[in-house]
Amino acid sequence: MSVTFWALVGLATVVALATAWTLGANSNSPPFAPAIGANAISTMRAAFLIGLLAAMGALAQGGAISETVGAGLINDATITSLAATAGLLTATAFMAFGIYSGYPVPAAFATTGAMVGVGLSLGGTPAFDTYREIAVFWLLVPPVSGGLAYVTATILRRDDIPETVGVPLLAGVVGGVLANVRLSVIPAGDGSGQGSLAAYLAGLVETPAVAGVDVLVVVVTLALAAVSFQFIRRRTQQSVDRGIKTFLVVLGSVVAFSSGGSQVGLATGPLENLYRAELGLPALALLGLGAVGILGGAWMGAPRLLQATSREYAQLGIRRSIAALVPGFLIAQAAIALGIPISFNNIIISGVIGGGLAGGSAGVSRRKIGVTLAFWIVTLVCSIVLGYGVYWAFSSVLGIA
């Protein structure tokens, strides 16, 4: 391998680390903002936990989305080191613009568009089946996130459902979902390398399925949901305020973990072919690279953003914050399971609006919603065009096909 090859490998790796750092500093911060706003945890402790949890999520759940971004967005072309660099630089430029301009640039839109543009510039053909799946999921996120947030906020606001019941019920739902989350550290019976706690425990004892459903999986799911319900219920019975704050910290933790798993692929995906096919490195090595970048970004860049966003969540109120984060966790896990890159800005903003509607007002103007949606579409289209142009310029200047 030539010196030029290794130079491009190094450049692509540095850019991927920078992208992961940006994601760690920005995209993974919102989950703990409500807990900070409610004085349930300090800013520095939250930043420390975000880094650890998001990095663990990246290692345990980041593989599917990384593969989609790296190989599923374009047909008949493989992403080279130069192409990966062009795509990551394009996506990072859009995210940096969003940070400095104050516009919520969705990282998934920017990265997906950039990699499509780069792939087309390489001579590849559009992967329309993948685009349809991604488009349907993205279009469903606002109504689903907003709807779930509306239902959640309505439950928390009802006078006939005491908080010693409503909040623990939500904790039970989160616990039940966690029992079925696929993790790389849990062996799977189907040989996929990723199993869930419920499926693993159920596999220890052979039982017949009923209507195609493993009874023990259901039992384990209900058991973990019951444990989660009882834990938060006891906390709320001792003190409603303490119980809600505990749930905010727990919820922030699982959402931060999920955000790491859903976001790391945006940084590592472009390097999939380079690291795994050309260098022969295992998937864990690439995810580890992304996890290091996310960890560094969270520890170094998250505190300032957390202080700003925590004030916004404090104005929203605890119940509305919970209503925004519960859908975030559920939708992030669905996206990871399907291997679809997503934007946490999209989920959280939709959840905030849905939670606000439960109180009679979304708290966000129609104009602001329209501008945000328009900006997301512009980001996607412009990132495709810019990705195409950046790779073309790089390849022309360096004389590399």
Q: How does pLDDT run across 47-101, given as a tens digit for each residue? A: 889 899 999 999 999 888 999 998 899 998 888 889 999 999 999 888 877 767 6
Residue 288 and residue 59 in contact, taking contact as beta carbons nearer than 8 Å: yes
Q: Note the pTM of the prediction, 2 decimals.
A: 0.87
Q: How many residues does the chain have?
A: 401
pLDDT value of residue 401: 57
CA distance 271 to 285: 11
> What residue type is 74 in one-letter code?
I
- From 323, 390, 250, 342, select the one nearest 23 (Cα to Cα): 342
Kind and range of the H or E run holding 75: strand 74-75
pLDDT value of residue 226: 96
pLDDT value of residue 26: 73
Residue 292 has pLDDT above 90, yes or no: yes
The string of DSSP codes covering 229-242 is HHHHHHHHHH-HHH
Which tokens hold the place of 211? 């209507």
> Is residue 312 very low, low, confident or very high in pLDDT (cuts 50, 70, 90)?
low
Which tokens hold the place of 109? 């839109």
- From 351, 301, 346, select the one nearest 109 (Cα to Cα): 346
pLDDT value of residue 191: 57
| Pairwise pLDDT comparison (314 vs 286), residue with the higher score | 286
Task: Compute the mean pLDDT over every residue in the chain, rounded to the nearest whole number.
Answer: 84
Q: What is the pLDDT of residues 321-368, one digit of tens each?
A: 788 888 889 999 999 989 999 887 678 777 777 776 666 554 555 676
> Is residue 267 very low, low, confident or very high in pLDDT (cuts 50, 70, 90)?
very high
CA distance 271 to 20: 12
